[in-house]
Each structure stands twice: as C-alpha cells, then as structure tokens.
Amino acid sequence: MTLHQGEMPVDESVVQSLLTEQCPGWAALPLRPAGAGTDNTMYRLGDDLLVRMPRTAEKADALRKEQRWLPSLAARLSYPVPEPLHAGAPSAAFALPWSVYRWIDGDEVRPDTVSDWAAFGVDLASVVRELHALDLAGATRAGALSGYRGGSLRPCDGWISGALDDCRRTIGAEVDVDLLQRLWRDGVARPDPTGPHVWLHSDLKPTNLLVRDGRLHAVIDFGGLTVGHPDAEHAPHLGPAGRGPARLLGDARRGRRDLDAGPSLGDRRRGRRRGVLLAHLPGVRRRMPRPAAVDRGRRRLNRPAAHAVPSRSA
C-alpha cells in the first residue's frame, strides 16, 4: 500500500538485484518480505539479517542517520538496538541508500507477550535513562538531529493549529477538539526545559519495542533519533498499541512514573503527544478510510477527556 507521494517502487527482485551487485556474499540467502512501516519496507535475509528500504527520498535521511550514529550508540548501550552491517549505495535498481542490519529476535508488544506491565514500564524507564545519560560525543541539535519532537513546542504551533482545524472538519464529531486545543495551548504556554540536551529515540511506540520472555528486550527503529529536550521521550502511549485494557496501560505508566518531573513537563508532554497524533491522523484517515490505526488514534485523542483538568481561565 502506498503511503506517500513519490514512493520508490521496491519488491524482492529489486532487493535481490542490490544484494547481487553490492553484497554478493549474502545474495544466495533466502529473502522474504518482513513488513512495512511508515518510513521503510523490510525484508528478512536468511535467519540473521534484515534489509530496510526507505519509501521516499525524505525517509532515506533517517536511514543515513541510523548508519552514522547507531554503531556508536550500540557500543555504549546495555540493551540490543539495530546494528547496521552494510550501508547500501543508490544504484540503477534503486535510487536511494538502503541498509542491512543484524536481525533482532523478539515479539511485538501485546497483551499476550508482556507478562507484567508494571515491570515493562520499569524496564522502559531504565532504557530511557540509559540513553539520556550517554555523552553526546560531539553531536548537537542541528541538521538531521534537530527533529521537532526534541525541541520547543512553540515553533510547532502553526502546523498543529492547522491540524486542529483539519480535525474539526474531518473527525470533529468523534473527538473533543476543543479539549485537545486547550491541552496543546497549555503545553505551548509552559517554559522550555533549561537542562542540557540529551540523546532521544523520540518514537518509543509499542511497535518499536521488542519483548522476549514477557519483558522488554530491545529497542528498534532509530529513524527519529534526535538531540533535544528529554521531555520529548515522554510522549509515547505505553501499552499494546491502544488495544489493551486500561488497567494494563496504567500499570505500564506507573512503572515509569519516576521519570515524571512536575506539572510543567506534564503539560508539555501531553501537548506534544496529542500534537503528533493530531498532525497525522486526518491524513492517515484520508489515505486509509477507517483502518485499525485510525480507530486507535481516535481513541487516544479522546483519552484525555477522562482525565481533563479545569482550564486556567475557568
């Protein structure tokens, strides 16, 4: 399914051609589809390798970033992260860079794979603390490492306000857009953190976390790797991609509660989290009417209504 304008066509024959040309030692290994995300189409290569093909030229920038920084980060982290083994060059068969990684075994985060959600939250908090504690090793918040999720909310106000208007037109009957706007405005009004910048994964959603034996095992997909304010790492919705009971989600959040740091961070985090959903949900709905992802997004946007606080002006 095409998600973006200007997507590069790719199939197994294209990948096989690239392997034959650039990685002949791996060309005879079995090759099979391994799914597709927003940024990449993936292929399993043998038992131990994964090929990732960016869907557009813009998405290729994230792949280059992984190739540049993941080897250094992986050497200093105690948990598994993707290990780039080959940086594929553009060619006549595929005009974008591509990459081969070591395969990481693990299950997706689901109610049937996570045995203890509170422990899962503790594990995730430990992962976040460890990543944030790493020395930046000369990296700064610039270029590819200046993603919006790690910066101030104020520069995002224009396009998030536009996304709120879009939501009113497209899903206003299903979502409390006025409440979402107030949450966003509360986040924008809060001062930016004054502490040092840190490494951020910035996309710790359930599909980017792998579970083994019921516990968090690995973190994948560092395409959103950023240097910035640590509160951006609080934005993900923990739990089984919105499908699990509320009690399980609450257990996971309580497990990471020691990362919370007061009302200012809480307002910024809520604003950032809803802003990301607001920005993407109407467009996803237009491309894929009523898919499960849209329904999950709609439920998540509605979730603050159950925990809303009075407006400062009330």
104-130 tens-digit pLDDT: 999 998 889 999 988 888 898 899 999
Instruction: Calculate the alpha carbon distances from 304 to 54, 274, 298 in Å.
Output: 34, 9, 11
Domain with CATH 3.30.200.20 in the chain: 12-102
Residue 192 bridge partners (DSSP): none
**pTM, two decimal places:** 0.80
**pLDDT-based confidence at 249, cuts 50/70/90?**
very low
Higher-confidence residue of 154 and 80: namely 80
* Secondary-structure class of domain 107-307 per CATH: alpha beta
- For the chain, give the number of residues: 314
Q: 11 vs 87, 97, 288, CA distance in Å?
A: 19, 15, 22
Stronger pLDDT, 276 or 166, i.e. the higher one: 166
pLDDT value at position 12? 97
Class of domain 12-102: alpha beta
Mean pLDDT check: name the lowest of 15-29, 47-61, 143-157, 271-285.
271-285
Calculate helix-pair angle for 263-287, 292-302, nearest 10 degrees.
150
Taking 90 as the threshold, does the pLDDT of residue 305 lie above it? no
Q: Cα separation of 189 and 66, whole Å?
A: 33
User: What percent of the chain shows pLDDT beyond 70?
Assistant: 73
Q: Which of 291 and 52 is assigned the larger pLDDT?
A: 52
| CATH 3.90.1200.10 intervals, the chain | 107-307
Q: Is the dihedral of CA 37, 184, 118, 261 positive or negative?
A: positive
Whether the predicted pLDDT of 201 surpasses 90: yes
Mean pLDDT of 83-97: 96
